[in-house]
Structures are given as C-alpha cells and as structure tokens.
Amino acid sequence: MSREPNYEFQEWWNKQREKNDDFFTNDSNNANKGFLTVEIRSLNPDLTTEKDRSRSARQLSWICLLRFQQLANFLAWITNSFLLLLRTANRRISAADSPSDSSASRLYRIIKFFLFLVVLLLCVELVAYFKGWHFSPPSAASAEAAVELFYALWLEIRADYLAPPLQSLANVCIVLFLIQSMDRVLLMLGCLWIKIRRIKPTASMEYPMGRVETGNVDDYPMVLVQIPMCNEKEVYQQSIAAVCIMDWPKERMLVQVLDDSDELDAQNLIQAEVQKWHQKGVHILYRHRLIRSGYKAGNLKSAMSCDYVKNYEFVAIFDADFQPAPDFLKKTIPHFKGNDDLALVQARWAFVNKDENLLTRLQNINLSFHFEVEQQVNGVFINFFGFNGTAGVWRIKALEDCGGWLERTTVEDMDIAVRAHLCGWKFVYLNDVKCFCELPESYEAYKKQQYRWHSGPMQLFRLCFLDILHSKVNKAKKANLIFLFFLLRKLILPFYSFTLFCIILPLTIFLPEAELPAWVVCYVPGIMSMLNILPAPRSFPFIVPYLLFENTMSVTKFNAMISGLFRLGNSYEWIVTKKLGRSSEADLVAFENESDSSVTETTSFLRSSSDSGLEELSKLEVTSRRSVKTKRNRLYRMELTLAFILLSAAGRSLLSAQGIHFYFLLFQGISFLVVGLDLIGEQVTLTQHLLTNNSNFGVTGSGLKQFSIGHSLYGCQNANCEATCHWLKYKVCTKQKGVFEED
C-alpha cells in the first residue's frame, strides 16, 4: 500500500525555490562563481568600516632589523656547524693508528691525484655536453673558438696516446681475472667431487667417548696445549675453561697460558684464572714474557724452548677467543696414529656471531668458502694448506724439523706451514671438527686484521722464494706454492680487484676509446659471487652486498700486498684484533646436537667468576665502567676518495647512457661511501656490561654471556643463582656453590 503524497512539504519546497532562484541559476552575472555559491551579507553594512592595516616607518625598521638578526643567526649557525663538521672529520680522519689507514701512504697520494684528474675530466665532459660536442665532436680543422680547438685536440690525444695503453692494461687484468676465476671453478668442482664421493680423512683408531679410565691412560699420548693471548680481558675465561675441561687424561695434558699482556689488570685476572684451575687439579701453567718481541711467533717460540716440552709428542694451539669442544683431542689425535709423516691436523672454524650484523655475515661468506672449499680441496688432493694459526694440532717433531717458530713475518702460521711442507711433511684438514671463535664486528678491527693477513704472505713470499726453488720437493709442489698458493691467491687477486674495478673502469668511462665489456663488469663477477656463496647458502640474499663489499675491501688488500712485498711503512706491525667475548645461543645448541651423544660425563667445574678471580674481576669491572668511551664512527680517507671517484665516473657514464656501467659504478661508489663513513658493522665498547649485569641470568664477570646462555636454556628460575655453564652438558644448577653438575 503506497504512502499518500505530502502536499505541505511540496508547497514549502516550491516557495523556497522561488526565493532563492539565483542559487540554482547560472546566468552571466554569476557565471564565474560556479554552480554552488554562498553569499554572506552583513546585517548592518553601513556600520562597518575598513580597518587600516598600514604600518609606520618605525615599525618597518624594527621588522627589517629583526629579519637581519634572524639571517645573521642562521648564517652563524651554518658557519659553526660547518666548522664543527670539519674539525670532527679532521679529528676522526687523523686518528690513524695502523698502517692500514695511514694518510701518508703512497697509495693514498696516488688516489688523491686520481680524484683530481677525474673531477677535471668530468668538468670538461660537462662543458662538452652542454655545448653539444658530446654527440657531434668537433675537429681541429673546423674549430672556430679556442675552447673548441682545445676539446678537439683532447679527443685526438686520448684516442692516439692514452686509450691504447689503458686498453692493454685492461686486457692484462681481464686475463688475470679469468685465470683466477678458473681457479675458483676448479676448486668448486673439487669440493663437489669430495661431496659426491664422500671423501674424508679417516683415522686408524678411535678413542672411546666419555670419561677416561685411570688404568688406560697409557694409550693417550702426551699433549701440550698452548693459549697465546695479549690483553684479552674479554675472552680469557671462556678459552681457558674450554681447554681445561677437555676430555683427556689430566696427567697426559699440560696447558700453557702464554700471556703477553702489558696491562696489569689483565695479567692479574689471567693469573687468578690459572690459579683457580690449578687448584682444581688441572695441569696448567702461566707464562709471561718481560720482553715482548716477535709478537705471537716470539711468544710460541719462547714457550717451546722450555725443558719439559721434550716430554710431549703433540702441541695443540688455540687463540684466546677459540673454544674447543671437550672431545677435540679425541677427534684429532687419532689421525696421527700410523701416519709418521703427518705434521698437522687442522680443524674448521665456526663463528658464534656470524649473524650479528652485515659485516659478520659478509665475513662468514668469505671464510666459509675458505674452509669448505680451499682448505678441504687442498687437504684432500695435495695434503697441504696454510695453517690457520689456531684450532690445530702439530707434531712437535715436525715443528723442530722445519726450524720452529720464526719471527720474520706477521703470518708465522703460514711461514711454519710452508717450511714444513718443503721438508716433506703432510697435513690433514677435518671439515667436520669445528672450533667456535669470534668474527670482528667493527670495520676498524676487520680492516686491521685483513691488512695483516694480506701483507704477511707477501713478506713470506719474498723471504722463502729462493728456498722453494732450492727445496727437494717435486716440481709440481714448487709450482703449486709459487703460482697458486702465493701469486694467484695472494697477489693477483687483490691486484686485479683493485686495478680493474676501481681504476681502469672509471678511466674507461672518461676514455671511451678503451672499454671493458659488460661481461667483465657484471656477469663474471656475479657468477663468481654465486660460487663463493654456495658453502653458505643461507647468505644468498647478501650476494650483491658481498660482491660490492669485496671490491671495496680490495683497496685495503692491495695496499697491504704492496706494503708487504716492498717492505713499505709499518708492514711488520702486529695489531691484536679486538674481541668481545660474544656467544651465540643458536650456535651452541647446534654444536650440542652435532656432538656425539655418548659424551655424557665430564668433570664438573665451578663458575668462572668465583673463588680466586672474583675480587680481581670486580675491580676490573669498576675500572672499565669508569673508563668507557663511546666509540664513534671513523672516517677513512682512501675509501671516501674512491667513493667520489666512482660516483664522478657514474655521472660521466650517465651522460653517455652506458646502462650497466652506470649502475655498477653508482652502487660501488655508494658501497665505498658507506664503508668510508664507517656505517658498516657495529660500534662496540670495551666492556660487556649489557651482557654481564643481566638480572635474569645472575651472571657476574666480563665476557660470560656464553655461560649464561647455557644457564638460561635449561630453565633455571632462580634469579639469585650466580652459576655459570660453559657447555650445555651441565644442566643441574645448585645454589650452594654455583656449580653445574652433570646430567
């Protein structure tokens, strides 16, 4: 049933339309007002007056003075900020404390000149571009103005005299690049063959896992364990504890803590830790040299000169941040049985902080390829590889046969490995035996480490080249040492990486008569990066940052290689890599799962921050908190200079519409800029107060995060318990003495 129409509302609506007819009409008078317009009229228009808004001369003068004062304050703020920025930059740049970032280096001077040249060429090309000469270059015959004649002569000079030698140098670097790439491909094929055939070193005997019975100790050889350290206050406890609880008869093992610390606090703490373990029945000695010569090599040489060393057959070496598993010796020593020509058994490194930041992730990619591919392939096929300086067991007879530790280089581990190889000794690499350690988390520490690692091999190559030629090993081993071990992997790799991608590529942009093919710039490096990342497949998303970062590090490696080869600067200086005592919960759990389940009994031990070391440790923490200084970003001159060079070349490439070259130069320049501003990695301090004062764990002492992880994993709810745990086998917590008993 329909509703009746409302006539009253319709009548009201018609009246309103008649009153406001102009509201709905669009005549010529209101055509510019739009369709819907609202007009507001005053009730008393005659009573309103227009307010005078004019200002007097005095008011205008005050306004002008105010504006000038604001402008002066702004200019003063800009000037002070700029001067402060310059002073800060100069202070952070001039704070060079290592040869790796010295501003007085010859390489830095060359790079500065190169930057000046590139900027000058960019200005010339910009002028030519806006004049239209970039697309239709003038000739000397048709030139009218002096500027046009100058540009025409420049084109002839670069085409006839500059481009040919640059192209020749580029071709040489391309050949070296391809040779080094083929070497990587062969290494990957060798690693694939090992995986398919499941080739691995096998020992002629095995030790039973578990606690050693007293009556069977004669089957265990005498082993000397050495822990060289220098001011390692963050990691000394965990390294000493890890060695002291190794599953080996106590009467058949002696631990030497070789302390080269020059800080009294560190000496007292390490001595207290050694005394604590000595009271627990561990055969452990503390050695401190008054004259710290020869760095680590001198420290090890001094320790091996003790009279009691002749009673031992093997020596295991662990750096201060390395934490071997309790069954480390039981998995390595058996390989010496029946192999009288075996000198070294090397274990693989595993990293507790590989996922800490982008820098540690990129390091993990590099080192995973080194251990998984290079070390394993060389160990299986030629029984030789460079000793890593730690996490290895040496036959003492082999050390004595090749002359012992020498102080002539900063890579004493590689030195003794090469000399032992020339004496006919063999090496074994165990990829399935892992020893946890720590990666540098700041770019400053990583740069110093890489400088030493790349200057030392060149020092050694210069010293032992003639020894290799005159040695009694066959020609194949000599060729492997000279061409593969030293030249290709230690000299050619940093040379072509820096020269090809940081020098030649920008020059070819400004000298287009010489060119680098796109496959050299992009495709081959991309394939090589994919091969390098295969041993660490979880890091595949970081393939592009890895490629850019490796090219960025080439300047440090090239500088180190040149310094070591020609003995420039302080190439013999040893700077200890700063460590933090970090531990990763996931890595500890993974290691526990990989370990043999039969290892269920080990001697229980007291918490590290108790008894004799507690008082000294507390004093150290108070001193450290007072002296903490927040670490600020450094500025690195060579990296920043190269960033400006590459970005300038990218701008020039944009003018000529070179797509792939432009993108490579742009991103590589940004990579250099990020590293030069110290924006990669993590800025850290010297103390671990965030780790050591966690109320949930109740842990005291610096560098004990690893112990607290084991404590928390097994669910101790007692906030007052100060117990600590090194390995996850200790599960039951007792509050009385702070002891983790065996499960």
Q: What is the gyration radius of the CA atoms in the chain, in angstroms?
A: 36
Q: Alpha-carbon distance 385 to 190, whole Å?
A: 15
- 99 close to 451: Cβ distance less than 8 angstroms: yes
Q: How many CB atoms lie within 10 A of CB 365?
A: 25
For the annotated catalytic residues, the residue numbers are 260, 413
Lowest mean pLDDT among 226-235, 315-324, 601-610: 601-610
- 632 close to 683: Cβ distance less than 8 angstroms: yes
Tell me, what's the pLDDT at 30? 47
What mean pLDDT comes out for the span 716-727?
35
Q: Alpha-carbon distance 158 to 514, whole Å?
A: 9
Who has greater pLDDT, 500 or 16?
500
pLDDT digits (tens, 9 = 90+) for 571-605: 677 676 766 666 544 344 444 444 443 333 333 33
Q: What is the three-class DSSP state of 281? A: coil
pLDDT > 90: what percent of the chain? 53
Residue appearing with tokens 């080439």? 554
Who has greater pLDDT, 6 or 488?
488
Could you tell me the two tokens for 462? 């210069």
- 247 close to 234: Cβ distance less than 8 angstroms: no
Could you tell me the two tokens for 655? 């003018």
Lowest mean pLDDT among 9-18, 66-75, 636-645, 726-735: 726-735
Average pLDDT of the chain is 79
Question: Exposure pattern of 293-324 as b/e (b: 16+ CB <10 Å)?
Answer: ebbbbbbbbbbbeeeebeebebbbbbbbbbbb
Q: Alpha-carbon distance 137 to 147, whole Å?
A: 12
- Amino acid making up residue 312: Y
Q: Which residues contact 719 (CB under 8 A, 6 or more apart)?
A: 695, 696, 698
What mean pLDDT comes out for the span 656-664?
82
pLDDT > 70: what percent of the chain? 72
Tell me, what's the pLDDT at 714? 32
- Name the residue among 612, 616, 608 with its Cα closest to residue 275: 612
Could you tell me the two tokens for 384? 């030789």
- 423 close to 464: Cβ distance less than 8 angstroms: no
Residue 3 pLDDT greater than 80, yes or no = no
Residue 499 pLDDT greater than 50, yes or no = yes
Residue 53 pLDDT greater than 60, yes or no = no
Tell me, what's the pLDDT at 696? 36
Phi, psi of 272 (to 5 degrees): -65, -40
Tell me, what's the pLDDT at 722? 34
pLDDT digits (tens, 9 = 90+) for 209-256: 777 665 578 889 999 999 999 988 888 999 999 999 999 999 999 999
At residue 65 the predicted structure's pLDDT band, cuts being 50, 70 and 90, is confident
Residue 385 pLDDT greater than 60, yes or no = yes
DSSP, res 697 = T
Q: Alpha-carbon distance 277 to 322, whole Å?
A: 18
Residue 732 pLDDT greater than 90, yes or no = no
Lowest mean pLDDT among 53-67, 80-94, 596-610: 596-610
> Residue length, the chain?
743
